[in-house]
Structure 1
Amino acid sequence: MSQDSSKTLPPQQQDVQPGREGEMRPAPKADAEDYVGSGKLKGQVAIITGGDSGIGRSVAICFAKEGANVVISYLNEYEDARHTLRKVEEQGVQCLALAGDIADEGFLQILVNSTLERFGRIDILVNNAAEQHPKEKIEDVTSAQLEQTFRTNFFSMFNLTRMVVPHMKPGSTIINTTSVTAYRGNPQLLDYSATKGAIVAFTRSLSKQLVKRGIRVNAVAPGPVWTPLIPSTFDAQHVETFGSNVPMGRPGQPDEISPSYVFLASKDSSYISGQVLHPNGGDVVNG
C-alpha cells in the first residue's frame, strides 16, 4: 500500500495557545543549526515579539549569529524562552527575555524601556507574535474573539512600533510578520486573515512615512510553517495533513523562514522598503 501523500505530520493537538515547542513531534527545526553568520548585524539590538519558539526563535538565533544582541518577548512559554535565550547567548551576544501579553500597552512600554536600559538602543524591530482561532461560520466569530485577535495581532504591532520608532536612527529596520492568508484568504480564519491584511497595508503605509527618516519597513508572509501555533490551533486530523496543499507538498520549517528576516534587517536589502517576502512553499501570490 502506498503512503498517503497528504499526510505530512503525526496527528497531535495541544490544548492551550500559543503552544509549547517542547511538546511537538517532530520538533520544529528552529535552532538555526546550519545557519552561518557573517557579522551583518554586529553591535545592533533587535526586539522580537514571540521570540521564544517557532519563527521568532529561529530569527533570534540567526540575528545572534550575525552579531546582534536580542530581546525576545513571550506570553508564558517559560521553558521555550529559556531554550531560546541559551541558544542566543551561545553565540557570544546578550539576550533579554521578557514575559507578558503584547496586547497590554503597559507591557509594551516595559519591553521598550527594558531594552533601552539594558542596551541603550533599538535598531531592529520584528513584530512577529500572533494568535488564531478557526471558526467554520462568521456567525461563530464573537465580538470578543474579533477584538482579541486584532489586539494581539495588529494593535500590539501598531502600538509597539509607535513606541520604538522615536528611539530608532537612520539605518534601522522594522519587519512585520504577515501571512499568505492575507493574499489567499482562509475560510476558517476570517479574523486572523483580516489582521494579516491590515499588516500588509500598515507595512506599505509606514514605509512611506518613515523613508525620509532613514528607517526601512518590510514584511514576511510565510505559508504553512511547523510552529507551536499549529497543534495548539487545529485538531489532530488537520495537523496530520498540514502544509500538503502547497506546491512543495509540505509545511515549511522556521529555519527556512528566518533568513528572510536577516536579509530585510541587514544592508543587503538597503534599497528595499514597503515590500513583502513570500517564503510559502511555492504558492504564487504576486503580491
Structure 2
Amino acid sequence: MIEILSPTDVLRAKGTGALVAGILQTLKSRCVVGTNLLDIDQWAQAMITEAGAQSCYVDYEPSFGRGPFGHYICTSVNDAVLHGLPYDYPLADGDLLSLDLAVSLGGVVADSAISFIVGDVRPPESLALIDATERALRAGIAVAGPGVRIGDISHAIGSVLNGAGYSVNTEFGGHGVGSTMHQDPHVSNTGRPGRGYRLRPGLLLALEPWVMADTAALVTDADGWTLRSATGCRTAHSEHTIAITDDGADVLTLPTS
C-alpha cells in the first residue's frame, strides 16, 4: 500500500518526527563507555511513554524476524547494522553504535537512525562509514520532490556509497511510512534513475542508507533479529523521514541542535 497523507496528517507527522529526533539526540548524549544496551532501551521506552506515543517495534513481527521484537529501539553495535536487538552489553570505548527508532504519535509514524562513536577512540574506518551514509542520505533527500522517480533517489544514494568504495546490499532499504511503519514504495539504496514510482505531495518516505566496510552480505544472529556483516567488519546506518511537498521535500526528523 502507498499512503498519501492529507496536509493535516503531514502536520502531525512533523510532530512525530520532532519527537523521534529529540529522543535519538537525548539517547546519543547519554551513551558513554559502560552504558548498557538494555538501559538505552529502557530510556527510549520512558521517553516514548511520557510523550503519549507508541513504539513501532514492541509488537513488530514481520516475516523476516523472530517476532515479536519486544523492545523499543534497535541498538546495533560494530558489525551489527540493522534490527539490533538490545541485550546485556556495556558499550566500550570506540564502539560504533547505530540507534534506529520508529514511533507513532497522533496516528502518524516517523522513523530515523543515527550512527556514532562511543567514547574517545575514533577509528578512521568507522568515521568513514558514518560519513558515507550521512552523505548518501543528504544526496537522496536533495533529489526528492514531486514527479521524481524512486529510482532517482536510489541512484543518488548508491552513487555516493559506491563512490566511497562500498558495496550496496539491496535486501533492505528505505520505505514508505504513514499510519504504519513499513509501507510501499521500497527505496533501494542503489538503482537506475528514471525508474519506479513517481513521488507525490503527501507521501512520507524513510530513506536509510547503510553500508558494511568490506562486504554486501548479511548474516542473522541466533536472536532471529540482529543483522550483521558476514565478515565481521564494521557497519553504519543513517535514516531520516521526509515528506514530499509541492516544491521539494521536508526532513521531519532533523534534530533541533
TM over 0.5: no
Greater fraction helix:
1
Look at both structures and tell me which one has the larger radius of gyration over its CA atoms.
1
Higher strand proportion (structure 1 or 2)? 2
TM-score, length-scaled by structure 1: 0.28
